[in-house]
Amino acid sequence: MLQEQIMKELQDIPEDKLAEIYDLIHYFRLGLKKEPPQRRQPGLLPGKLGDAFFEPLPDAELDAWE
């Protein structure tokens, strides 16, 4: 059983490291109770783009990229 294997592994951890293991397990378990994050749809933004978005860049800005 997996729980027994975990218990066996815990027996070999030094006493001064058990607090770190406890924190890891505790916060992992708390994270399981949270609702899963909502999935994002990449590339879709709310709202609309203004016409200025589609205007060409000024020559000074274009030259900076070259």
Number of structural domains the chain divides into: 1
Structure tokens at 26: 């505790």
Dihedral (CA of 45, 50, 55, 59) sign: negative
Is the overall model pTM greater than 0.75, yes or no?
no
Q: Is residue 20 part of a domain?
A: yes
DSSP string over 15-42? GGGHHHHHHHHHHHHHHHHSPPPPPP-T
Q: Is residue 5 part of a domain?
A: yes
- Mind listing the pLDDT tens digit for each residue in 7-46? 999 999 999 999 999 999 999 999 888 877 777 776 666 7
Q: Residue 4 is part of which domain span?
A: 1-33
Residue type, 26: H
Q: Is residue 6 part of a domain?
A: yes
